[in-house]
Amino acid sequence: MTEIVTESVPSAGARLWRGVCRLAASTDPLVETGNWVALTIGSHLPFWPLYVWWSAGREAWPSALLTITLAPVFLLIPWLSRRSGLAARVATPVAGVGNTVFTIWVLGPSSGSALFFAPCAALAALLFRRSERWLMLALTTLPLIAWYLLMFFPPTPVHRYSASSSARLVELNTISIVVLISFFGWLQTASYQRMERR
């Protein structure tokens, strides 16, 4: 009797994960770190209106749908890294600052969205080497400049949320920032381990 040997076919989820890993991969650990950040943010932004709706309720619609607008920008950064790793590393924190400013306009200053300038600065400090310290300084200062300008020239929000909804949005944003910075720390450890092995 002939024994039939079959190879295990990876599931769709496993194939998707491998594809994402290939997309994020780079010979430069810092570029790969930036790619992972960009892919994580870009893939989560489409769900952000649901988080806003969960926090603010029915009044979140339809303005909360605008928060997904910059998702394609983040998802294109790994493609950019194939052309220029440095350009991709610059684009990641710049896109973060742009997305924060845009979200402040959509949800309003009282939503606490300006808190996202903190991980933008942390990311800029994470993605550059000592030899690139002037670029690092410029990009870590960019969120501070944006925050300072918005203090004096606050945008008129697309929708004004009630005080209770704004308080819940601040809670949501605070939790998101803690998770995001913790994720940065995990990526930084992995990146430094790769650089030490070189």
- The answer to whether residue 126 sits within a structural domain is yes
Percentage of the chain lying above the pLDDT 90 cut: 72
Per-residue pLDDT, 57: 87
**What range defines the domain where residue 106 resides?**
28-196
Please give the angle made by the CA atoms of 72, 76 and 82, to the nearest 5 degrees. 180
- The answer to whether residue 5 sits within a structural domain is no
Count: domains in the chain: 1
- The answer to whether residue 164 sits within a structural domain is yes
What single string gives the DSSP state of each residue in 74-96? HHTHHHHHHH-HHHHHHHHHHHH
Q: CA dihedral in degrees (189, 190, 193, 198; nearest 10)? A: -140
Q: How confident is the model at residue 4 (pLDDT cuts 50, 70, 90)?
A: very low
- The answer to whether residue 186 sits within a structural domain is yes
| Reported pTM | 0.89
- The answer to whether residue 14 sits within a structural domain is no
